[in-house]
Structure 1
């Protein structure tokens, strides 16, 4: 046998008192003991303190790795959280080396080498994933031996561990704006048309149409408006999107504005000429001449 592999699992402990289903913790708090439940091979769900997992029969050989421990986990609290698998306080006897890796819900983390000239007191973060309430994910710890290792008969303790930490609430992209209305259904090219509607409160709304764009910030009630200036005549669909920290919404249902060609006042030039003529007449000092 090349290596003996203890299947002991380190469970991070939490001093916070938090009942399942409550939301009394704060972002960054360790909620492992209160919110994490674990099950193996279809067995009952239990708290970390009562979980006693069994390892697989996998024994690594140089150049190979396999799963040494696998089980299901879930978050039973109504809190956004992140589950992290790690290796800590590991040991490799006789100057040998080994590799460790974690996997969560199909996501496989980076492979790390443990052994001589490495600090076993440093926690190695293997893989992590967000864990929503009652989401059931498979956790797995993988162990291996580097291809160039020639030593035999040494023991590997990979120091498996996991911790559940409350995260910030997940921000999702807003829904599409609704209820778009126009200040006027028909405008002259170059004349702004007011576009109004409803969007997620405090989101940034972008209105587009006819090659033009205007932006606004929805107020606390979700109302927004901005003036869109289109310079190309024709019938133009106008849509809006809303953006927050979680992303950008789909486009709203379109409204259509008719843009007509810009017109000029045909009498404007003649009026100016007449004004000039009047000014010329005014320059003739007729009364002054008569008086002479």
Structure 2
């Protein structure tokens, strides 16, 4: 019996099951019986040691790999990784199912193996979601119906903004970044998640369109509208690229690689 069948009319669980049918394990509904390595986002944000402990694990990995662990590089990585958790959870559901789940910190968890440093799974904990009028769940107690795709995109944007704001309020005092840099990282995570959802489904162009729909006009606190654009022609299907809004500070490591090709430090036009 499938998870969705066991949960009966649990529409969101069924959505997650369809999305993860390829076995990637990026997203789940509910926590597994063995909670080892899992933490709810609200618990993580309420614990001052949560971010610093994660930072210490990453700093150790960077030292082992690059013989250095600049504070800005550690913070840049962790901002991107954490913000990708609510962004990807919402982005996958929006792209595949035209549903937007609750991504409040209390309704979302992530898994991290300290040996791997970055999150390798997220779990939705609430069965409630927003959807379109033609959704099979419309009219049920689990679903809030909105008028159209633009309205649904606005719900996603608003829910993600609220979660990102709580994260930024908690970690902002612990990192040496200004508000613009923090929200630039949030902008990158959201657009990147929608782009990834399209690539993962085999229709990168659809992910690009979703990114444009959700990012809207880039109204503050987000730092940009979607800036996905076709990469220079090299034959074959269209390839896409974007200029990052935030820097990961990987260039500070003694790796000889310099800035990434899409780093905002290089050019505002990438």
TM-score for both structures, normalised by structure 2: 0.25
**Greater Rg over alpha carbons, structure:** 1
TM-score for both structures, normalised by structure 1: 0.24
**Which of the two has greater strand per residue?**
1
